Structure 1
Amino acid sequence: MAAIISLSRHRVASIPKICLRGYATVTCCFDEYYFASSHSYTTLVKQETSRTTSFRCHNTSRPKYPTSPSDLRVPGCETRERKNAQKMGDIALPPLSKQPPANHPNADPNPVDESPFPLTAVDKWVLSQTDEEFSYHSWEELRTLIQNNDLSVLKRKPSDLRRYMKWTAETKASYGSMTNYLLAHRLPKAWGAPPFTPVSDIPFADPSDYCVLLNDWPYGFEPGITHIVVWTRTAIATDHDKGDMTPESRKIVGDFVKRYFVDRLGSGGEDKVLYFKNWVALQSVRALEHIHVLVKDVDPAIIEEWTQVHEWHKA
């Protein structure tokens, strides 16, 4: 089977989305005009010179952009590197799975272009999967991601992400904003409404300025990992580049996590606690300050102790 491709004026005609096994024959035309092709036919406009070459469908060495006919690949081929690219964090190639049908349990209740919050590239990749295809974050993987500050790779299970999108859209429709919902149902009544007036200008210095809650919409973790959110009415300093913590605020947050979580677990506690603060661009609730704390294999009684409602939080 032959496919006709034009390289004149840096234009490449489309190739039917078929998967060729073995060798594919490509005829290339180098002139000032081109061939207009579709899935069913090819129309010749003008041809000066041409030559024919063959290449393997599963070509493992290709430049970023085609520089010769042998560099071109037929779209739709299921290659080994495409499978490898679906490992966590590598989204250079799109996943093979397609969106589930509308009546599927994992169907997207909100199209990507109608999401109630900005979707990252990873979110869009996850939405193309089913729960069975999803790879859960392990503890060691999370440790590496947080150490490298690669927070954009964190992802929810496909069905959870779709439900979160739906819930966010409905909540915004009912309350006007996520901030209004959190103030009404999750944050201490004693805080009142923003802008808050904290007791201390130093984050986490006064217990009445923060509250510890379980995350209602955790990321997709392996069993045994609990996702906690610590909300604070004291601002946490961030840089002006991407909204990440400054070195000073990172130390303040780290000291608090050690004091509140790690020390409570005793010997070996540092191996059971991870924390991070999403960059401003990654936050779905930007109006209220919060950090994320992950704990592994912690007694539920201790988690309940951490997240209890205190008297100083009541109005």
Structure 2
Amino acid sequence: MTAADGRGGAGETSRHVPVLLAEVVAALAPADGEVFVDGTFGAGGYTRALLDTAATRVVAIDRDPTAIAGGAEMAAQYAGRLTLVHDRFGRLDAVAAECGHETVDAVVLDIGVSSMQIDEADRGFSFRFDGPLDMRMAREGESAADLVAQLEETALANLIYTYGEERLSRHIAKAIVRERAVAPIVTTRRLADIVARVVRSKPGDIHPATRTFQALRIAVNDELGELEAALDAAERVLRPGGRLAVVTFHSLEDRIVKQFLADRSGKSPGGSRHAPASRPPEPTFTLVTRKAVAASEAESHANPRARSAKLRAAARTAAPARTRR
């Protein structure tokens, strides 16, 4: 999960364009002297806008060391107003504290894989290029090739179904297990070809391997767990009145954000007459966007990655942060 430059599925056309940029800046409303955390720095699209809109300071986090190295010139340009940190955004409150900020004025998160990562064949995120089946954002830990090689068939099918929402997950897992017995599956092209023989598609459909690649990427990087941790961290670090803006690109991510904000703003369903709800805890957020904000038709046309993007935003109340159950 890196990059505030607009992202989407593993096979989409690459463009380093910040998605919903105007809407994100409007939701965050930067003011002079405020401190922001950009938890997904990437190419720095949101960070640059926050620094240019007002005399702000930004702590920018990315788990990809390549993104942090690439931001050095921007950090020099803004002379002390931008701090780059190589870390996971699930630790954004701890990172902010380590940078001298016990509380901050706003947090922005742009969830998914960055166009920079997709464009690098050796990162293994995309079936558009033939490269090693890697997908590790932090360049450490188990790779997608490791999962494909080691998971037994049922576990692999469950992973593809749960994280990829792929209805043919059992057939894909069976094909993978059969093919890996012949020869190790270590490249993106070989995996994509195996999946394409199982998932039939018509002209205009997404690539047959899109959901399988998404599932492996999410599992390799624990993306949904990191998102949950980041939302909790944002709740802890935001001052009363502080703003949170989150851009997601598929339903699994958006569902987590939607449910978190519904719960924290007191919008979750209560009990029934058979099981009355107990007294709800005090809301820790108020909604800035009542519904998810989608990209305009013009932006979606200009930047295909914006088509699936959704922005949700909220403001912190003075209530104590909760402990996730």
Query: How high is the TM-score relative to the length of structure 1?
Result: 0.21
Q: Report which of the two structures shows the higher radius of gyration computed on alpha carbons.
A: 1
Query: How high is the TM-score relative to the length of structure 2?
Result: 0.20
Structure of higher RCO (CA pairs closer than 8 Å, 6+ residues apart):
2
Higher helix share: 2
